Amino acid sequence: MTTTSPPPRQPRWRRHAAAGLLTALTLAATALPQPATAAPGPAADAPTALAAATPDGFATVNALGQNGTTGGAGGPVVTVTTAAQFLDYISRPGPYVVQVSGTINLPTGANDGMHNVASDKTIVGLGANATLSGGGLNIGLPVDDDVTSPPANAVHNIIIRNLHITGATDDLINVQMFSHHIWIDHNEFSNGDDGAVDIKRGSDFVTVSWNHFHDHDKTLLLGHDDDNAAQDVGRLRVTYHHNYFNASDQRNPRVRFSALAHVYNNYYYDNSYGVASTNDSAVLLENNYFYSVNNPGRVDFSGPLGRIVQRGNILVDCNHAIETRGTVPDPRTYYPYTLDPAADVPTIVPAGAGVGRISPTATSTLTAGPGITAQPDGFASVNALGQNGTTGGLGGPVVTATNANDFLDYIDTVGPMIIQVTGRIQISSKQGVRPNKTIIGVGNAEITGGGLDFYRSYNVIVRNINFTDAEDDAINVGQNSHHIWIDHNRFAGAVDGSVDVVRGADYVTVSWNHFDHSDKSMLIGHSDGSGSTDIGHLKVSIHHNFFDNSRQRHPRIRFAEPVHVYNNYFLGNALYGVASTENAGVVVEGNYFRDVPHPMYSASGYADSGPGRAVQRNNVFVNSGTPETAGTVTEPRTYYPYTLDPAANVPALVTAGAGVGRI
């Protein structure tokens, strides 16, 4: 949630402040023009500020062996709804994108409610109401005063976005012990017992941006205490920009020893003081807007004097000027930046800061692991039939289904949607999926008992799901459906087909799936009598799948051209590998066949179906029969580019990368 500025009121500091206000005061030689109203709040229809997809400021700097801040990019994307799930994933080694759904109440216990975050994590709230309550996040190793330089195992590369963090019994976020490359962006902080975001004990290269701080006392501490110079001097480089300090009483921030704190384009509203620089800290204050702040900037505070350079700030109804002293480094020696006019800050910051201003999606970071791509390849990538490739639910809301009712409701919703499946969902029969959907499993997700049916559907992605014991087909792509990507799933126990593509369907890619001891793995073309529907359609790419002791149909093809079967691992397929019939055209290349008595049928047809065409090249056959080939087939490269892996590498590559848990 975001809270608009209240109408002008008696500031809390006036109970103790001396009379005599300095209105619209700046320390430049010429006063800047002041806005029309003394206490501007955001209009109800103020435009939402654009949310950067990548950090800026100090979090972008290439230093300490870390080139910028990427968080969990490249790791698994998981959605958590309980404290146990959340604490498990944030503490795991390696990159993770941890999406928080709903409210999670964190325990307190012996650690006073502070919970450790391991390196290489993105923690992001889904929607506008994701909340962490009752506990805080600790980013850093345990305190050790004897460590005075960054250790090799310092916590690093963490992104925290779009969360309301509230009610902690200690700090809401604590960054300590030489942690570095941290981006804290578009969050809401309130009602913590100590600091909202404290950064201390040698931490470095941090950006705190577009956050909303309210109903909180000690907001931002930068530098632990006056005796911590050994760890802090030359470090604590932090960028604070476009934050909304909405009646957050003090420490916005309070700074000790910092090599440079860059504080720009923030909106200060009714604070006892804004920024305090002590212990020779270097603070640059520019283009901020201070309304009703008793002391906007101080260098003569508690402890040794600090340094402040100020420029371009606007002060309205403030009791004191910004205190200045000394010189500070230029932030542009570290990173580029662009200032917004200070007069615009009271409008753009309340409109853009806080939660609900960004739209995280589950597909944006699925980029790691063997053969993983964020977008499909093969026929699902082709621009045809009014659809330029396959994007699924991209741009739609991200929802999580944990039960059959929710799942069936979501797949039947009109419009784009990313549907994350958690746990085991029991369905029956074949359930229709509307266009523009991404259906993606989180962790070891399972759909059992029934399957998915595509009837005149299009632009659908299905990934990372165990399909088990379907009473008919596990997935049926039919009736002119097109642009379907079926990737990194596992199929087992279906009574009929695992993946059938029939009745004029087109532009389908089936990639990196594990067909685990299935019977009828894949049918392309419904029957010998469906030529009028199927000829000129059924273009399918089948690559890097593991046909693991699956019995037949890898695939069985009628009428289609071309079907492109490449870099698959065929192991122990008792009846056959590929069957091309009814004049279908298939290119079979770069595959590895082991213990397959009949790798390919074509010239002789199969069962009651007439002959088809098949071209085979660069395949490896081990303890397998002779492939049957016939005729010529349209080259897949007339539709899309592709690169073959060496067939000899396929068993290792495919078994390592195919199936669930690889994205």
Residue 78 has what pLDDT? 81
Indicate the number of domains in the chain: 2
Distances (CA, A) of 314 to 128, 219, 317, 649: 31, 21, 10, 65
List, for residues 469-523, the tens digit of each pLDDT value.
999 999 999 999 999 999 999 999 999 999 999 999 999 999 999 999 999 999 9
Q: Which residue has the tokens 């325990």?
A: 107
List, for residues 187-209, the tens digit of each pLDDT value.
999 998 888 999 999 999 999 99
Q: Are residue 645 and residue 585 in the same domain, yes or no?
A: yes
Amino acid at the residue 235: R
Residue 367 lies inside a defined structural domain of this protein:
no
Q: Quick one: pLDDT band at residue 653, thresholds 50, 70, 90?
A: very high
Residue 41 lies inside a defined structural domain of this protein:
no
Residue 365 has what pLDDT? 35
Q: Determine the Cα–Cα distance for residues 300 and 316; give it in Å rounded to an integer.
A: 22
Taking a C-beta distance cutoff of 8 angstroms, is the pair 324, 99 a contact? no
Q: Quick one: pLDDT band at residue 108, thresholds 50, 70, 90?
A: confident
List, for residues 514-569, the tens digit of each pLDDT value.
999 999 999 999 999 999 999 999 999 999 999 999 999 999 999 999 999 999 99
Taking a C-beta distance cutoff of 8 angstroms, is the pair 42, 323 a contact? no
Q: Which residue has the tokens 């901020």?
A: 288
Q: Quick one: pLDDT band at residue 374, thresholds 50, 70, 90?
A: low
Query: 285 is written with which tokens?
Result: 């204050």
Give the residue-averaged pLDDT of 35-54.
35
Does the N-terminal peptide bond of residue 370 adopt cis geometry, omega within 30 degrees of 0?
A: no
Of the candidates 94, 56, 90, the one whose C-alpha atom is nearest the C-alpha of residue 74 is 94
Q: Are residue 469 and residue 586 in the same domain, yes or no?
A: yes
Residue 3 lies inside a defined structural domain of this protein:
no
Domain boundary among 328, 352, 376: 352
Residue 360 has what pLDDT? 57
Residues 6+ apart with CB under 8 A from 377: 509, 511, 541, 543, 640, 642
Top pLDDT among 48 and 508 is at: 508
Q: Determine the Cα–Cα distance for residues 295 and 312; give it in Å rounded to an integer.
A: 17
Residue 602, pLDDT above cutoff 70: yes
Cα angle 139, 353, 162 (rounded to 5 degrees) comes to 45
Q: Are residue 155 and residue 284 in the same domain, yes or no?
A: yes
Q: Quick one: pLDDT band at residue 297, thresholds 50, 70, 90?
A: very high
Residue 311 lies inside a defined structural domain of this protein:
yes
Top pLDDT among 388 and 444 is at: 388
In the chain, % of residues over pLDDT 90: 80
Domain membership of residue 143 as a residue range: 12-32+52-352
Top pLDDT among 13 and 541 is at: 541
Of the candidates 361, 380, 363, the one whose C-alpha atom is nearest the C-alpha of residue 372 is 363
Residue 663 has what pLDDT? 80
Residue 40, pLDDT above cutoff 50: no
Top pLDDT among 11 and 618 is at: 618
Q: Are residue 343 and residue 456 in the same domain, yes or no?
A: no
Residue 47 lies inside a defined structural domain of this protein:
no
Q: Determine the Cα–Cα distance for residues 182 and 398; give it in Å rounded to an integer.
A: 25
Residue 30 has what pLDDT? 26
Q: Are residue 324 and residue 401 in the same domain, yes or no?
A: no
Residue 494 lies inside a defined structural domain of this protein:
yes
Residue 112 has what pLDDT? 79
Q: Are residue 339 and residue 476 in the same domain, yes or no?
A: no
Domain boundary among 301, 322, 352: 352
Q: Are residue 253 and residue 399 in the same domain, yes or no?
A: no
Q: Are residue 342 and residue 402 in the same domain, yes or no?
A: no
Query: 490 is written with which tokens?
Result: 């596992």
Does the N-terminal peptide bond of residue 416 adopt cis geometry, omega within 30 degrees of 0?
A: no
Q: Are residue 335 and residue 468 in the same domain, yes or no?
A: no
Give the residue-averaged pLDDT of 100-126.
90
Residue 204 lies inside a defined structural domain of this protein:
yes
List, for residues 125-179, the tens digit of each pLDDT value.
988 889 999 999 999 999 999 999 999 999 999 999 999 999 988 999 999 999 9
Residue 198 lies inside a defined structural domain of this protein:
yes
Q: Quick one: pLDDT band at residue 359, thresholds 50, 70, 90?
A: low
Residue 6 has what pLDDT? 33
Residue 12, pLDDT above cutoff 50: no
Q: Are residue 325 and residue 410 in the same domain, yes or no?
A: no
Q: How many whole angstroms from its chain centre is CA 155?
A: 20
Q: Are residue 467 and residue 596 in the same domain, yes or no?
A: yes
Catalytic residue among 490, 503, 553, 558: 553
Q: Quick one: pLDDT band at residue 32, thresholds 50, 70, 90?
A: very low
Residue 472 has what pLDDT? 95
Q: Are residue 561 and residue 504 in the same domain, yes or no?
A: yes
List, for residues 77-98, the tens digit of each pLDDT value.
888 889 999 999 999 999 998 9
Q: Determine the Cα–Cα distance for residues 189 and 166; give it in Å rounded to an integer.
A: 6
Taking a C-beta distance cutoff of 8 angstroms, is the pair 162, 198 a contact? no
The CATH number linked to 171 is 2.160.20.10
Taking a C-beta distance cutoff of 8 angstroms, is the pair 73, 53 a contact? no
- Identify the bridge partners of residue 161 per DSSP, sorted by sequence position: 124, 185
Q: Determine the Cα–Cα distance for residues 66 and 202; give it in Å rounded to an integer.
A: 16
* Residue 423 buriedness (CB in 10 A; 0-12 / 13-18 / 19+): middle
Residue 110 has what pLDDT? 66
CB count in 10 Å sphere of residue 32: 17
List, for residues 395-447, the tens digit of each pLDDT value.
888 888 989 999 999 999 999 999 999 899 999 999 999 999 999 998 789 99
Residue 325 catalytic?
A: no
Top pLDDT among 8 and 343 is at: 343
Residue 127 has what pLDDT? 81
